[in-house]
């Protein structure tokens, strides 16, 4: 009996768990401190009324034999939801077939589990800094990970280096943690590179809903050639506040074939074997996000968060602190003042301003010296947090 020893190669603890421990220790020692949390990317606004009504309606269906739903269809997602997602994509000019959309309990699950269908011998290319889950899920399988440098110089948007050979390429745009967004021209370069190499781009679009400028791509499938080299992961978590309700979807084009196999069919086989679908009531809740009224309500919530983002961004400008994000993203990625290291700045903010952020170093070596703030707090707390920061750092 042996465990999967690759797990021993993982770094000691998940970033947000470490932060939670530090914060809890500080709060215990200083029970009077009124902490403002602009750290973990969790939403704070309640589910919108359209979603709430859909949930109540679906719960009532589950109470009656005639409308009760058991196991969901093997196709991974009820047709009603797939159809609504399809129309949402069509709204920004992307044509998808219903079978290309596979519904799940969230982008995090799919981003981790998709690796199951790829060989462990594949080489993986991951930007640094990045959402830690990309690296950890590959370390768990013992895959070779190459990093591409995202830096102040390239605006945290690295482009392909043709001397590097990779099989799986992670792109997250709008980016977590940096808030930087690729343009269509930049994504075209990535699509060209992936098709040349026979690589697959794992495109994390969990933050597409924050894009304000129609010229910026919301989906990799807006780029010609992407259908033969990309998988897109998306989620209701940020779009509609589903972090505690759990629904996402992954899009795999029919044309995506490697080793003579349909990648979509492999994924379907993985999911029918190791997953049993998303709760009916949750799929009905997700459907409500796409009604006209649902769209109006979620946009109101997204607007609320974007105002917070502007509040933080304006404060950074006033303080003369360099940052990315905050415009098409709920994240503000700032350069720690006075050349401070990330965790030192974390401690300073926690102890002197009682503001909790996320140390950039937790996202990779290029994150050292940077820091992430999120726009998911409430308005008043966000305003107070930046006031405290301005007072501390002036």
First-to-last alpha carbon distance for the chain, in angstroms, is: 59
Residue (of 350, 344, 240) closest to 295 by Cα position:
240
Q: Contact 160/189 with Cβ under 8 angstroms?
A: yes
Give the rounded distance of the alpha carbon of 350 from its chain centre: 25
Residue 136 vs 149, nearer CB to a copy of itself:
136
In this structure, what are the phi and psi dihedrals at residue 358, rounded to the nearest 5 degrees?
-120, 125
| Sheet of strand 168-172, all strands in order from the earlier edge strand to the far edge | 101-104, 248-251, 230-235, 200-204, 168-172, 123-128, 144-149
Query: Which one-letter DSSP state was computed for residue 352?
Result: I
Q: Give CA–CA dist 378/382, Å, rounded.
A: 6
How far, CA to CA in Å, does 303 sit from each of 239, 299, 307, 312?
11, 6, 6, 14
Measured N-to-C along each axis, helices 79-91 and 280-288 cross at an angle, to the nearest 10 degrees, of 30
């Amino acid at each position: 009996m042996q465990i999967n020893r690759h797990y021993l190669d993982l770094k000691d603890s998940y970033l947000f768990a470490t932060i939670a421990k530090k914060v809890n220790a500080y709060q215990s020692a200083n029970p009077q401190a009124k902490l403002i949390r602009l750290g973990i990317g969790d939403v704070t606004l309640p589910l919108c009324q359209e979603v709430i009504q859909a949930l109540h309606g679906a719960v009532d269906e589950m109470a009656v034999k005639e409308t009760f739903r058991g196991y969901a269809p093997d196709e991974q997602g009820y047709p009603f939801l797939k159809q609504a997602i399809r129309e949402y994509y069509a709204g920004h000019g992307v044509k998808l077939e219903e079978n290309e959309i596979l519904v799940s309990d969230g982008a995090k699950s799919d981003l981790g589990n998709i690796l199951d269908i790829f060989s462990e011998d594949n080489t993986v290319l991951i930007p640094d800094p990045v959402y830690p889950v990309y690296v950890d899920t590959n370390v768990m399988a013992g895959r070779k990970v190459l990093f591409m440098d995202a830096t102040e110089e390239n605006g945290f948007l690295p482009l392909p280096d043709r001397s590097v050979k990779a099989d799986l390429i992670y792109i997250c745009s709008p980016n977590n943690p940096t808030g930087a967004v690729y343009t269509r021209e930049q994504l075209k370069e990535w699509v060209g590179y992936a098709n040349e190499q026979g690589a697959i781009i794992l495109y994390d679009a969990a933050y597409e809903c924050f894009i304000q400028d129609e010229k910026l791509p919301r989906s990799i499938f807006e780029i010609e050639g992407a259908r033969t080299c990309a998988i897109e992961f998306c989620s209701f978590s940020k779009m509609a506040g589903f972090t505690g309700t759990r629904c996402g979807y992954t899009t795999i084009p029919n044309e995506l074939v490697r080793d003579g196999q349909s990648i979509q069919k492999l994924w379907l086989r993985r999911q029918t074997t190791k997953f049993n679908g998303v709760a009916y009531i949750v799929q009905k809740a997700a459907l409500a996000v796409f009604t006209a009224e649902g769209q109006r309500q979620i946009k109101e919530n997204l607007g609320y968060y974007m105002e917070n983002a502007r509040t933080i961004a304006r404060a950074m400008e006033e303080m003369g602190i360099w940052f990315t994000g905050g415009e098409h993203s709920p994240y503000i990625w700032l350069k720690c003042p006075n050349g401070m290291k990330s965790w030192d700045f974390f401690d300073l903010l926690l102890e002197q301003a009682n503001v909790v952020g996320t140390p950039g170093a937790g996202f990779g070596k290029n994150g050292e010296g940077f820091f992430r703030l999120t726009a998911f707090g409430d308005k008043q707390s966000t305003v107070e947090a930046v006031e405290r920061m301005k007072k501390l750092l002036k």
